[in-house]
Amino acid sequence: MIRGVAQTQHGDRGAVYRLALPVLTLFVVPLTLARCAATEQAPQGNGAFLEVLSERAPPADAHVQSQVLEPTRPTIERWATVGESASFEIRASVTGSEGNERWRRTEPAATRVLARTAADEVTLIEQTDSSDGATTRFLQPLILAPADLRVGQECTSTSVVVTVRGNVIDNEGGRAQRSMKLASEDRIRTPLGELSALRIDSVFTMKVPFASMRRETSTWIRAGDGPVAIRSVEKILVMGVVPRNRSETRVRLPATGWTP
């Protein structure tokens, strides 16, 4: 039984919107569409900008390890969104016990709980929206980064999702899928300077009763250092209507460091 949404299927369409949208808009944290405009607007008050200077096919031996694509280490990173005025922090810390570690990654919009498997994959266990406290749980943890993503390889992961608010289940039986590949080697310019970066393209989709979401993401990875820029485009459908199309570009700022 899908609580809340199912009860309104023959009633108030506005209620469906109010219930379904929070489930999908939870995933504002970048999990970006390649071939978007190469140059984002000039630096704003927060110093954010992204220029793609060149693209080429990645070398045949190119690869990105999971600890670079999705770092699991205590950090405090400064990021900013192009076109907005303020920067923000992303903090990562370890929880759990030895042998069962969990990584908590927090930013203003949401908190994600990650794990690293015995196979060295990084997986997403759950995500909590800061605005209303709704938590989406992945009953089969969703792979965010395989142990070693190589050229020509596509990694795909699927999961059943449940969204919970307090003791109430908003949605059960939704499905999520994420696929990713190493797409190109680019020369880019960001607040960190001009640098070479491998671009990882991913597609994330989620379907719940009466609603669906699709996000296409490009993440630029600097060798040995992790993500330095993320560009995304997403579309949300509720009862076949497009209530929101959203695009966003984020870049990492200087003065990023590790916590003690």
Would residue 160 count as lying in a domain?
yes
Q: Residue 210: is its pLDDT beyond 70?
A: yes
86: containing domain: 6-258
The overall average pLDDT reported for the chain is: 83
CB of 138 closer than 8 Å to CB of 177: no
Q: What is the pLDDT of residues 215-239, one digit of tens each?
A: 999 999 998 889 999 999 999 999 8
Q: How far apart are CA 41 and CA 83, in angstroms?
A: 7
Q: Is the pLDDT of residue 11 over 90?
A: no
pLDDT of residue 192: 95
- Across the range 152-173, mean pLDDT stands at 87
Domain assignment of residue 1, yes or no: no
pLDDT, tens digit, for every residue of 63-78?
A: 999 999 998 888 899 9
CB atoms within 10 A of CB 222: 18
Does 195 fall in a domain? yes
Query: Within 10 A of 99 (CB to CB), how many other CB atoms are there?
Result: 5
pLDDT bracket for residue 17 (50, 70, 90): very low
Identify whether 133 is part of a domain: yes
Q: 181 has which bridge partners?
A: 154, 201
Number of domains in the chain: 1
Closest Cα to residue 157, out of 165, 149, 168? 149
For the chain, how many residues are written? 260
Q: Higher-confidence residue: 108 or 224?
A: 108
| The pLDDT of residue 18 is above 50 | no
Token pair of 178 as six digits: 């994420």
Q: What percent of the chain has pLDDT over 90?
A: 63
Task: Residue 16: name the closest of 7, 29, 25, 26 by CA.
Answer: 7
- Alpha-carbon distance of 75 to 141, in angstroms, equals 23
